[in-house]
Amino acid sequence: MQLRHVESFLAVVEEGQFARAASRLFLSPPAVTGHVRQLERELGAPLLHRSPVSLTEAGARFLPHAQAMVTAANAASAAVKDLHGARDTVIRVGVMTPGAAELTPAILRAFCRAQPRTRLTVESLGFTDFLSAVLEHRVDVAFVRPAPDDERVITDTLTVEPRILLTLATDDLAHADGVRLDDVLDLRFVRFPETTPRLLSDYGSFAAARNGMDPHWGVGQATSAQDLMTSIAAGWGVAGTLQSLGRYYRSPGTCAVPVVDAPWEASALVSRRDDLRPEIRAFRDLAVALARDPGLSRLRPPVPPER
């Protein structure tokens, strides 16, 4: 699907005529007509009634997505406008699985399309180094969860999500529609290495609800999402995480159960506060623009309820 075809469709919808849309786009009317027909062929449905011009049912459904595509492309272009003509550069991107879930690859794709001369490399981050990798200059930006509060980095929140409990599929709680914090705090939790930032171990064991009491740790130890899922499937403990990990990164033998009264938590993009390179600012701006775009709501969980 080509962006110029989508732009022609939107112009016809907004102008109400193919001729006026063509004039606005500095194209011929046959060219605009061809763009819309090609789009309809790709989607397999007519998008517009021709006389007079109006949206079909398929066109009405496609419209917000078309607007989101153009908005995202414009945001990408604006985010990197200062980089045109710059020398080839590299941004090292760290991802603590699954980062901001579906938003992570969407942001990477959009930035590569918008700025092909800036090369992205991706490095997997574990539970112990998701922040130190940024501070030690091993990566330039990182998709992490939960959002850190550290004056040495800039934290851009990308999603705010409900909490879930990851548990063995044969556990009593596994198939409940939802559980409460009182149901889970006395369970055994998968242990993290001693070098894990306190932020993450507290997050994984619902420490905020414990009134200072330590969790019951299981025999397993996890340094990555893969380790975590393997430990849970082995029956070595449970873990608290964000809703999207349960959807995006599941293992056989495990279940994700909503924790209905747990405060929602964020995933974020972090970068060094003293890194003032324009390509880093451009990457951050694009990530935030896509995360906030209402047309891309399918990539994000719902808004948290008011308490």
Residues 96-138: pLDDT tens digits? 988 888 889 889 998 998 888 899 999 999 999 999 999 999 9
Helix axes 3-15, 29-43, angle to 10 degrees: 110
Closest CA to 88 of 125, 119, 46, 48: 119
Torsion of CA 140, 146, 149, 150, to 10 degrees: -30
Look at residue 299 and tell me whether its pLDDT is greater than 50. Answer: no
State the CATH class of domain 3-81.
mainly alpha
pLDDT recorded at residue 68: 84
Find the range with the poorest average confidence among 19-23, 105-109, 143-147.
Answer: 19-23
Look at residue 28 and tell me whether its pLDDT is greater than 80. Answer: yes
Separation of alpha carbons 105 and 32, rounded Å: 31
304: number of Cβ within 10 Å = 13
Coil/strand/helix, residue 107 = helix
pLDDT recorded at residue 80: 66
Mean pLDDT for the stretch of residues 158-165: 93
**Mean pLDDT over each residue of the chain, to the nearest integer:** 86
Q: Which of 13-17, 47-51, 60-64, 162-166 has the highest mean pLDDT?
A: 162-166
Look at residue 13 and tell me whether its pLDDT is greater than 50. Answer: yes
Q: Which are the contacts of 51, defined by CB distance < 8 A and separation ≥ 6?
A: none
| Cβ atoms of 239 and 189 closer than 8 Å | yes
Closest CA to 65 of 85, 39, 84: 39
pLDDT recorded at residue 134: 95
Look at residue 302 and tell me whether its pLDDT is greater than 60. Answer: no
Look at residue 76 and tell me whether its pLDDT is greater than 90. Answer: no
Look at residue 306 and tell me whether its pLDDT is greater than 90. Answer: no
Q: Where are the domains of the chain?
A: 3-81, 84-159+265-299, 163-258
Mean pLDDT for the stretch of residues 16-27: 84
pLDDT recorded at residue 164: 94
The DSSP H or E segment spanning 244 is helix 243-248
| Cβ atoms of 3 and 73 closer than 8 Å | yes
Closest CA to 94 of 144, 155, 44, 21: 144
First to last CA, the chain: 42
Residues 162-192: tens digit of each pLDDT: 999 999 999 988 889 999 999 999 999 999 9
Peptide bond before 197: cis, by omega within 30 degrees of 0? no
Closest CA to 132 of 116, 122, 115, 144: 144
Fold match flag (84-159+265-299 vs 163-258):
yes
216-221 and 188-191 as β-strands: parallel, antiparallel, unpaired?
A: parallel
Q: For domain 163-258, which architecture applies? A: 3-Layer(aba) Sandwich (3.40)
Separation of alpha carbons 179 and 262, rounded Å: 10
Q: Which CATH superfamily is domain 84-159+265-299 in?
A: Periplasmic binding protein-like II (3.40.190.10)
Residues 217-267: tens digit of each pLDDT: 987 789 888 889 899 999 999 999 998 888 777 778 899 999 999 999 999
